[in-house]
Chain A
Amino acid sequence: MKPIASMRALLGLGDAEGGTDHWWGQRISGIALVLLGLWFVASVLTLPSLEYHVVVEFIGRSLNNVLLSLLCLAAAYHSNLGVQVIIEDYVHASALNRASLMISRIAHFLLAVIAVYAVIRIGNGT
């Protein structure tokens, strides 16, 4: 690792050799989301209703529990990358740029945790 590149990364001064990682991360999570998203839409459409007991019973099944957790994680990850690009494109002031990126990252992380926690709780029948 080049010291200058890692220093830039450390200070959050934008992508230092991280451009291809971002590209691949976006593509791979994108493919995952095509599959998981279509599964979710098909599931919602085939459920007899969206009433409480039906939904909880559906999410509670172990395969659905895993797939829905993956969907939440992939969506939060993909969303984080997308919002990051938008911030990098439109927020130019350095301090504001870094603050926005950090807030977005934390918010996406929290969203993923909250969603997956809820899915797992339903899986445990609480």
Chain B
Amino acid sequence: MTLSILHRATGVAMSVGLVLLAAWLTSAAAGAEQYAEFTTLMSTLVGRLLLIGWSFAFFYHLANGIRHFVWDTGRGFEKHQANASAWFLMIFAVAVTVAFWMLLL
């Protein structure tokens, strides 16, 4: 139940993230100076939080999206299965987000 609303929330978060992606690409297309301005903006506390939130939203939405694909085939609907996959999903998304930032930084 909680996870279903989280799928929407992370989806909306990435819709906002799409603006960030477009801004990043536009700054890179505009030149070194503009790109530097964008990365400076993103390295502030707010920028960092946005990026970390975005990455978590990505991994969560990706994993839950795959879960939805499995459901589309009619599998995994039993209550104990859905609960187990929900737990796995949450741990997976947090772990991969942490791993991503450890690799990146």
- Residues of A at the B interface (CB closer than 8 Å) are 27, 30-31, 33-34, 37-38, 41, 44-45, 50, 52-53, 55-56, 59, 68, 72, 75-76, 79, 82-83, 86, 111, 114-115, 117-119, 121-122, 126
Contacts and interface: CB of A to CB of B under 8 A. Distances in A.
A30 B69 contact: yes
Interface of B is mostly: helix
Nearest to B39: A50
A72 to B, nearest CB: 7
Given A30-B69, A118-B29, A126-B29, A86 B100 contact: no
Given A44-B104, A52-B36, A34 B28 contact: no
Which interface class (under 10, 10 to 19, 20 to 34, 35 or more) fits B? Answer: 20 to 34
Interface of B: 8, 11-12, 14-15, 18-19, 21-22, 25-26, 28-29, 32, 35-36, 39, 58, 62, 65-66, 68-69, 72, 100, 103-104
Contacts, number: 77
A75 B52 CA distance: 19
A37 B66 CA distance: 13
Given A55-B35, A111-B22, A114-B22, 9 more contacts: A30-B65, A33-B62, A37-B62, A38-B62, A75-B18, A82-B12, A121-B29, A122-B25, A126-B29
B100 A79 contact: no
Q: Binding site of A, secondary structure by majority: helix, strand, loop or mixed?
A: helix
Nearest to A89: B8
Contact of B21 (A27, A31, A72, A121): A72
Contact of A118 (B14, B22, B39, B58): B22
B11 A82 contact: yes
